[in-house]
Amino acid sequence: MYGVYGALNAVNAAGNVVSNMSGNANSPAVTMTGIVVNAPLSTQPSTISQNVVHSLSNSVIGGSAGSVYGMDFTLPSLGNVIERNLVHSRNVTSTLTAYQIWGLVMEGQGLLRSRITWCGLGLMRPVTPLPQASRSSASWTLPELLRTITSTVCT
């Protein structure tokens, strides 16, 4: 199960929110990923920025141990940029101890420049309202929002 999937060509993905994905997949492979870019032969670089991936959950009863990824990239050896993304709250309910949970995965031999991509390892507490501001919530910049969320919500 994928939230955003791009293959073959370069991907420019900005400002996406992938959230509240819930599955019941038993597979020895990756069972769920928020954002996937699989373009190792692309002739152009990809840019993935200011995206939020959260609340990915998979329940496994029996079967095989798999993986849940926040973001998964297979990119060419070009100037790919992954920046200002937020990945948090991935969860697996399973008795299989080999099950894996990853924030950001870079596969293959491509090049990746990652700047300020935050991957939280735990689950966030229930969200409380953001502090009141003298402006509308639509005018918050992503860095301001991330600082506020990190300081008021994350454990």
Provide the domain limits for residue 18: 2-123
Clarify whether residues 95 and 143 are in a common domain.
Answer: no
| Tens-binned pLDDT, residue by residue, of the chain (155 aa) | 999 999 999 999 999 999 999 988 888 888 899 999 999 999 999 999 999 999 999 888 878 888 899 999 999 999 899 988 988 888 888 888 888 888 888 888 788 777 766 766 555 544 444 454 444 444 555 555 555 544 444 43
**Same domain as 38, residue 107:** yes
Distances (CA, A) of 54 to 30, 86, 122: 17, 8, 11
- Residue 98 pLDDT: 86
Give the pLDDT score at 133: 47
Question: What's the whole-model pTM score?
Answer: 0.75
pLDDT at 152: 41
Residues 77 and 54 in one domain: yes
CB atoms within 10 A of CB 123: 15
For residues 54 and 88, the answer to whether their CB atoms sit within 8 Å is yes
- What is residue 71's predicted lDDT score, i.e. its pLDDT? 93
- 116 & 103 share domain: yes
| Same domain, yes or no: 97 and 114 | yes
